[in-house]
Amino acid sequence: MTDHDPDLQAARGWFESLRDRICAAFEAIERETGSDAAFDYIDWDRVDPSGEPGGGGVRGVMKGRVFEKVGVNVSTVAGTFEPGFATSIHGADADPRFAATGISLVAHMANPHVPAVHMNTRFLTTTKRWFGGGADLNPPLPVARDTDEFHAVLKAACDRHDPGYYPRFREWADTYFYIPHRGVHRGVGGIFYDHLEGDFEADFAFTRDVGEAFLDVYPRIVRRRMDAAFTEADIAVQRAWRGRYAEFNLVHDRGTLFGLKTGGNVDAILMSLPPVATWD
């Protein structure tokens, strides 16, 4: 279902190339501090519930001096959704067969003044075909300059395609990245979009621009903050905030549920969890 789908293969190729460029950029930042940290890549294979091969992916994780823990995963999977889960997926209620490819990134930073970040873009096919994803900034100690720049770069990427995208997708992110049982947002927002299924080439171009925007802005913010002095009190704030992040990903995140329900690699799915967190 994947090898004979040129659209899915084109998206897969882009996600893999974006991964390589992001990982190289992050490793370059580590080198600037004298660290030799590098990504460790682990291939994984998926078996569909039918017993047939179901694709797989590559899990990449780096633990360094600047990036306490960063994961960058690319996966391409196909098969059949379980009946109960199929009804929750766009276009799968009538036919549970699916294919999906995407990149998922989460970075937790050593210095609490450097914001953590999440970025994910994906292409799914059922009886429908659509792109989704976005990026959001998650600073334990927010700085207006960083927040404003992150949003400005994402807005510029959106505006190149549709002036209505940014306000719509920013609001969607604010709604999605919210922790109801805490009554707080996970971070300072960004953009989130799903079921973008108009014209493949146009939607693919937008998704590529989201990836380029992330690669443009986030390393710049990291370099700006990675040498800032911090205190034990700052670390305490960071670890408590990480607890909220973990709660969202385990309780509310649809990507986590999708990975677990489709038999994905558990370590790759849960790479989003922070290395150290606290709950009072």
Phi-psi region of 195 (alpha: psi -120 to 50; beta: other; left: phi over 0): left
Residue 118 known to be catalytic:
yes
H or E segment at 214? Answer: helix 200-225
**Separation between Cα atoms, residue 166 and residue 116, nearest integer Å:** 21
Joined together, the tokens standing for residue 249 give 């990903």
Whether residue 192 contacts residue 177, with contact meaning beta carbons closer than 8 Å, is answered with yes
In the set 113, 118, 151, 185, the catalytic residue is 118
Apex CA 86: angle with CA 82 and CA 90, to 5°? 155
Nearest residue to 136 via CA among 163, 181, 160, 171: 171
Pairing of strands 97-109, 178-179: unpaired
CB 37 within 8 A of CB 64: yes
Looking at the annotation, which residues are catalytic? 118
